[in-house]
Amino acid sequence: MTVSFVVFILSQESLSKSWTIFSGKHELGWENFLFNINLWGQKEKTAVAETPMPLLYRRNFTKAPQWDFDDVYNQDAPPRPTTCAQSLRNSKDENFKKAFLPNIRLFLHKDNINMSEWNRLSHFNNPFGFMECKYDEVMASVKLIPKPKEPLLLPKPGADGCIHCAVVGTAGILNGSKVGAEIDAHDYVFRMNGAVIKGYEEDVGNRTSVYVHTEHSIAASPYFFGKYGYKSAPHDEGIKYVLIPEAMRDFRWLEGLFKGHEGYSCYKGPRPRDYYSGQYNESRFYVLHQDFLRYVKNRFLKSPNLNETFWPLVRPTNGAFTLFLALHTCDT
């Protein structure tokens, strides 16, 4: 709990310095692994790594390491041609255009991880990679994540071709706002963490299309927000769930979730599936990719605290990741 609070506070600080654009740094060569051939788009055939690289330890770094491939990310084919003129993708803002990767890989699944990916990502601390994690432990879980069958969001049939989204935070500033109907009028409503709704519909709306969480946030929110009447994660019919894999406990959670039993050991109590109130469905469950999380941090929310000894605790909040997920899946 203590650690989580620290993360929250530090991340808030990084949020307040938002929208400073940083370009990729090329400070530290370390090992320039040969097996990253595909990453660099070279054609020649080089030996492909077959074993996990030796573990790197966070405590060996007094500040966040900067690898020369830090700012290189997997990208996917565009999910759909957009016919929306006012789409964020058509923004003319120069800083935004420089930072924004419209096709950044959003989701991790069993078919887009392999040994060279493992070794590349093992250079970055969680949630931006797998530093200090054991290959067998993480992969037992990742190998169960199904490849998403459809994009997170599709334009609503018969609408204007744009995907309109609302992202609703949980800090409490909406109390008394009376914008509930306006929120609900969007095509999709994103929420995260302890999304208190019941009794506050007039202010926060009542629909949830996408719920973003970690193992910790979904399990702990009923305790933190119970005093506001929060009992469980939103579970509208057809809701999509998105997990931020922030630590080993999230991979254990996923294993328990996909296998349908208590395959994890952090919390005693109900099975992971029970936290989704009957709406868990493999084809509506998404896991964010480490490249996407690192890209948000590197290009939009780079905190000066990454140069402090407590750098491994510094990251954007779940709310910030949710906002950026919406910016990459919605038009407005």
Ligand X SMILES: *[C@@H]1O[C@H](CO)[C@@H](O)[C@H](O)[C@H]1NC(C)=O
- In the complex, the residues that contact ligand X under the rule CB under 6 A are 38, 48, 57, 59-60, 74, 112, 114, 116-117, 172, 175-176, 206-207, 228, 236, 238, 281, 283-284, 302, 304, 306-307
Give the residue with the Cβ less far from ligand X, 97 or 110: 110
Q: How far is the CB of 176 from ligand X (least distance, A)?
A: 5
Q: How far is the CB of 70 from ligand X (least distance, A)?
A: 11
Give the residue with the Cβ less far from ligand X, 83 or 307: 307
Cis-peptide, bond into residue 127, ω within 30° of zero = yes
Give the residue with the Cβ less far from ligand X, 9 or 48: 48
Q: How far is the CB of 140 from ligand X (least distance, A)?
A: 19
Q: How far is the CB of 60 from ligand X (least distance, A)?
A: 4
Q: How far is the CB of 66 from ligand X (least distance, A)?
A: 8
Q: How far is the CB of 208 from ligand X (least distance, A)?
A: 8
Give the residue with the Cβ less far from ligand X, 172 or 260: 172
Give the residue with the Cβ less far from ligand X, 88 or 133: 133
Give the residue with the Cβ less far from ligand X, 105 or 249: 105
